[in-house]
Structure 1
Amino acid sequence: MIKLVVFYEKPFCAANAKQKQILRASGCTIIERNLLEHDLDKETLRTFMGEKKVTDWFNPAAPAIKNGEISPDTLNEEAAMELLMSNPILIRRPLMVIGSEKLCGFDADKVSEVLERYVEPMPKINCMEKGCLEKRSE
């Protein structure tokens, strides 16, 4: 069975490294993406946030949040999304795609629940169609 996770991370982030280690230990195959150089548009990024409150879209450890430059609890969705798009370090990470679900942040219980729903069997490959068993001419 394949457990495929698209994992948007901040490269070299210790927390993201631990999260990937947990996923791999549970049998997941991870496709890593750099969150700081993502190619997501606003609408797609918004789908990762689901029903979360705007304040939960933000990484509380981001420097601008920690030093009080940005106060997520004062932002509406539109203003929050503008900030996240212009400064991806603010995005709570990781962003993950598992099956057809998108997640923001690493809630171990939620990740486990989603993985249980989206474990897919290994796709069957017809080797004859791929030409790997072609007849040899002698």
Structure 2
Amino acid sequence: MKKIIFYEKPGCINNTKQKAILLAAGHQLEARNLLTEVWTPTKLRAFFGTKPVVEWFNYSAPQIKSGQIIPAQLDENTALKLMLSEPLLIRRPLIQVGNEFAVGFDLETINNWIGINSVDNSRDLETCPRGGKSLPNYC
């Protein structure tokens, strides 16, 4: 059993499902509101690890859906500045276990990292059920 800090958007359908999976596996959750958390560039950057900048973003965010922000055109510093000013841009969930950090909820990755009861890779727990399928939509 792990103690997990889980940064979510309250009311997000997928975040609710993700938390239920973690709780069913016996983990302790401390859910925090990603949108009201006080972020610094260093604190936020830790969650992205070696992922490319394009994988840091919530493609359901209005600025991305409208084309105002194009993640593939951003460098790391610009991406962080944008996310600090508009937390809806941050891909969810952000997960912290001790001094280890992750973004997103890929079932196999989560299972290998902290363990969950079952891994059903046919379940998409990252694409927003309210968004279209033309882009990856991270609720």
Where do residues 16-55 of structure 1 align in structure 2 (5 Å cutoff)?
16-55=15-54
SS in 2 for 1:37: coil
Alpha-carbon deviations, 1:105-137, whole Å to 9, x = none? 111111111215xxxxxxxxxxxxxxxxxxxxx
- Residue 136 (structure 1) aligns with: none
CA RMSD after TM alignment: 1.0
Structure 1 stretches lacking a partner, 5+ long: 117-138
Task: Identify, as 1 or 2, the structure richer in helix.
Answer: 1
Between the aligned partners of 1:71 and 1:29, the Cα distance in structure 2 is 36
Q: What amino acid does structure 2 have at the position aligned with 1:15? A: N
- Which of structures 1 and 2 has the bigger CA Rg? 1
Tell me, in whole angstroms, the C-alpha distance in 1 between the residues paired with 2:38 and 2:14.
Answer: 22
Matched, 1:66 2:65: yes
Identity %: 45
Aligned length: 115
Structure 2: segments with no counterpart, 5+ residues = 116-139
Task: Tell me the TM-score normalized by structure 1.
Answer: 0.80
Q: Which amino acid aligns with 1:83?
A: L
TM-score (norm 2): 0.79
**Structure 1: 4+ residue segments shifted above 4 A:** none
Contact 1:101 1:114 in 2 (8 A): no
